[in-house]
Amino acid sequence: MQTLYTPEDFKRVLETALLAATEPLPLAELKRLFDDEFDDDTLRSLLADLRADWHDRGVELAQLASGWRFQTRPEFQPYLDRMKNERPPKYSRAVMETLAIIAYRQPVTRGDIEDIRGVAVSPNILKTLESRGWIDAVGHRDAPGRPALYATTKTFLDDLGLRSLAELPPLAELERIMETVDAPPA
């Protein structure tokens, strides 16, 4: 194994690991590449330098909720989408409303969601979101029947390219977007 001496050497190791990874790599896992000889700040500095090295490329180094990964820059994704024969799954308005309620009000029970939406929530809606990996039961409310409490997952944040729930758009902006989606064509 080659001995590493320079920050450029260390960045190449990080770059190789991140490009080979099939999912985001957390800081702790990246530290293991160097037998934990770097503290978190040093590793973050190397990652920031690596991100800067890729700033004018079609791929970017992104920090997400579950770690770091290389990903296509959003402005280039439409070109890659042309190469796919499959269509991304379309979710019903009920599924998207339920997801939004969970994301903005978590943790919530099925009853909380029904109170907010004003209609019954089909168990299939929650199963759809769970199978996608976007929500999980994170506990139970101390109430009769001990209903499950639902919250979003790191997969949800990763799929949206977010590091935390604080990066979600303000609720008012989301409502405006939803109205635009529902508006009939002019």
> Can you give the CATH number for the domain in which 49 is found?
1.10.10.10
Same domain for 98 and 177?
A: yes
Same domain for 99 and 169?
A: yes
- Among the candidates 58, 80, 102, a domain finishes at 80
**pTM of the predicted model, to two decimals?**
0.69
pLDDT at 171: 76
CA distance 141 to 38: 42
User: What mean pLDDT do residues 67-91 have?
Assistant: 87
CA distance 18 to 62: 10
Same domain for 100 and 69?
A: no
The chain-wide mean pLDDT, for the chain, equals: 89
Question: Given pLDDT bands bounded at 50, 70 and 90, which one contains residue 185?
Answer: very low
pLDDT at 186: 42
The verdict on whether omega for the bond into residue 144 sits within 30 degrees of 0, i.e. cis, is no
CB atoms within 10 A of CB 71: 15
Residue 53 in domain: yes
CA distance 42 to 80: 34
- Please give the residue range of the domain that contains residue 50: 7-80
User: What mean pLDDT do residues 61-69 have?
Assistant: 95
Strand 67-72 vs strand 135-140: parallel, antiparallel, or unpaired? unpaired
H-type helices in the chain, by residue range? 7-20, 27-32, 40-53, 77-81, 93-105, 110-117, 123-132, 154-160, 171-182
